[in-house]
Structures are given as structure tokens and as C-alpha cells.
Amino acid sequence: MEQKRIAGQKAIDYIKDGMILGLGTGSTAYYMIKKVGELVQNGMNLKAVATSSY
């Protein structure tokens, strides 16, 4: 699980202000989405589309 956490958090390096993100599912996406939330709370402007139908 540690490798998945690192991968999910590393994905944040590729996100730029104003992007539209496709949010995946699974444990790796979970870690990335948590970090995306922090970016938005800190003022980054992002739009996101969930890929899940739930």
C-alpha cells in the first residue's frame, strides 16, 4: 500500500491550475483525490469528473 500512496501523491506534480481532472477509482486514486482536495483548499482552481457511476 505504501507504493500506491506514493504514486497517488506523486500524480499531484502533474496537476496545474485550471485543469479538468478525471477522478478514477481504487486505492491509488484515493490518495491522489485527498491531495487534490488540499490543492483546492489552498486556492487552486480545478474541475473534476468522477469516473464512477455510484
Give pLDDT tens digits for 3-43. 998 998 899 999 999 999 998 888 899 999 999 999 999 99
3-state secondary structure (DSSP) of residue 16: coil
Long-range contacts of 51-54 (CB under 8 A, 24+ apart): 51/22, 51/23, 51/24, 51/25, 52/25
CA–CA distance, 54 with 46 (Å, rounded to integer): 22
Separation in Å, CA 42 to CA 24, 27, 39, 47: 22, 23, 5, 15
14, three cell numbers? 502533474
- Is the pTM above the cut of 0.85? no
| Sequence ranges of the domains in the chain | 2-50
